[in-house]
Amino acid sequence: MANRFASFREFYPFYLSEHSNRTSRRLHFIGSCGVLVLLALALTQGRPWLLLAALLCGYGFAWVGHFFFEKNRPATFKHPLYSFVGDWVMFKDILTGRIKF
């Protein structure tokens, strides 16, 4: 598949193909849940360092999924914005049952 995408709509099928392993998707989902919890804590408790923890949590879980289960490089390295959006669209798709958890 091409390295350039004209839109997120073109990118998302590629993104999903890079997340075909169920364990990897679960790790992404867990990491995203952790991000939401840490963001909420950072905002409600006024602890800005938790924003860094949220970043590490989200990417940590995702990258373990890629390196150990998918055996590929995260799309973040070549497509950071689309990959970030893809994480949250996949999160929503898991919550709504469009993607198996």
More confident residue, 79 or 4: 79
Distance CA 92, CA 87 (A): 9
| Count of other CB atoms within 10 angstroms of residue 38 | 21
Q: Is 99 exposed, middle or buried (0-12, 13-18, 19+ CB in 10 A)?
A: middle
Per-residue pLDDT tens over the stretch 18-33? 999 999 999 999 999 9
Distance CA 15, CA 36 (A): 21
Its pTM stands at: 0.91
Distance CA 76, CA 38 (A): 21
